Amino acid sequence: MQYFVVMIDYGRRGREAVVDPEITRREVIARIASGEYRNVSFIHEIAENSVEDVTEALLTEAALPEIPPEDLDLQASRLDHVRDLRKHERT
């Protein structure tokens, strides 16, 4: 059996361990990327009789956006940047 333990830190309100044997690695990454899991203290992967800390790997995977190259509009990005720079000009 394999499952993940996600420890979420709520600061002064305490901590919560989310343990769901039905959740997959991909679902954990999706929940981190969507913001459902915030302030993650650690993520442990439990498999058979071993425990592995996979926090850094999963947080890194969740931070990488998957943007297909055809969806990029470089001209719009450049124009947005120019508009943002104009906001800070002194008049």
pLDDT digits (tens, 9 = 90+) for 21-72: 999 999 999 999 998 998 999 999 999 889 999 999 999 999 866 656 566 5
Q: What distance in Å separates the CA atoms of residue 87 and residue 68, rounded to the nearest whole number? A: 30
Least confident interval from 4-13, 41-50, 54-63, 80-89? 80-89
Q: Which two tokens stand for residue 49?
A: 């009789």
Residue 70 burial (CB count, 10 A)? 6
pTM: 0.66
The string of DSSP codes covering 20-53 is -TT--HHHHHHHHHHTSS-SEEEEEEEETTEEEE
